[in-house]
Structure 1
Amino acid sequence: MRQLRPHLQEDGFVAVVRAQMAEGYRLAYLLEDGEVACVAGYRIHRNLMMGKSLYVDDLSTDESARSQGCGARMMAWLREAALDAGCAEIHLDSRVQRHRAHRFYLNRNMDIVCHHFSEQLR
């Protein structure tokens, strides 16, 4: 996760994750040879537009394990978790400059369905 979110400091990371977990955030990980190769942070939620869906907040494969199928296996696991939870869709956001990630998601049959807007408040 540190490779995906380098701005987070280790001591504050656990507190942030615990606060998110209190709001429904879950963590899943994939081990390769006893080491964490891929991690996903996700939540199940409902809204009026999408109904019940699984939202992937964080998905990161360790740099040493990339292009070995770990991300694909994690996405397959997330898909099954979504189906088991009765979700109709999986959603995620990916920063515009992350072209390799976009290709990965498009190759997993995901579609670009909306634009995400944000406003910095501080």
Structure 2
Amino acid sequence: MLIRLLEQQDLPIILPLVQLLNPTVSPAQLAQRLQEMMGQGYECAAAFMADNCVGVAGIWLGTRFWCGRYLDVDNVVVDPAYRDHGIGQQLMNWVENYARQQRCEIMVLDAYVTNQAARRFYERNAYQIVGHHFVKKL
């Protein structure tokens, strides 16, 4: 397996996997949002097996008053056919190493409250729940 940061022109290959986490968003809308995100500093690490993209983890770098430099992990997903093979763990290890290289002090992420498997995975990886993520629809 190979894990690497995707070049901007390669980012559209992540859309089928991202669709799995966002089934209520149309593929066209996901593609349009990806174009906007690319202009805002979005990056993505991808795991490949035999030239097939089997896992992705979006990356946002930033700095905030409360934590300093951080890496925000966004839409981590592994192809269902490849789950339970350690790909998610390897992908998160890669992202953590990348965060260290980028001089980040912490990593942050959001997980849907209904996704108990994700919660267990992140807790096993020493992520702590330190607050609530509030959302207001406009």
Tell me the TM-score range normalised by the shorter chain: over 0.9
SS of residue paired to 1:18: helix
- Report the Cα distance in structure 2 between the residues aligned to 1:26 and 1:34, rounded to whole angstroms: 19
By how many angstroms is 1:50 displaced?
Answer: 1.4
More helix by share: 2
Structure 1 segments of 4+ aligned residues over 3 angstroms from their partners: none
- Point out where structure 1 has 5 or more consecutive residues left out of the alignment: none
- Report the Cα distance in structure 1 between the residues aligned to 2:26 and 2:111, rounded to whole angstroms: 22
Within the candidate set 68, 73, 76, 2:90 is matched to 73
- Report the Cα distance in structure 1 between the residues aligned to 2:50 and 2:71, rounded to whole angstroms: 28
| Greater shift in the superposed pair: 44-53 or 13-22 | 13-22
- Report the Cα distance in structure 1 between the residues aligned to 2:44 and 2:24, rounded to whole angstroms: 19
The Cα offsets for residues 101-122 of structure 1, whole Å up to 9 and x where unpaired, read as: 000001111111111111122x
Partner of 1:14: 31
| Greater shift in the superposed pair: 10-19 or 36-45 | 10-19
Task: Please show how residues 12-91 of structure 1 align to structure 2 within 5 Å.
Answer: 12-91=29-108
- Report the Cα distance in structure 1 between the residues aligned to 2:127 and 2:32, rounded to whole angstroms: 32
- Report the Cα distance in structure 2 between the residues aligned to 1:7 and 1:57, rounded to whole angstroms: 17
By how many angstroms is 1:82 displaced?
Answer: 0.4
Partner of 1:2: 19
- Point out where structure 2 has 5 or more consecutive residues left out of the alignment: 1-17
SS of residue paired to 1:72: helix
Within the candidate set 79, 86, 97, 2:114 is matched to 97
| Paired residues, number | 121
Partner of 2:133: 116
| Greater shift in the superposed pair: 65-74 or 30-39 | 30-39
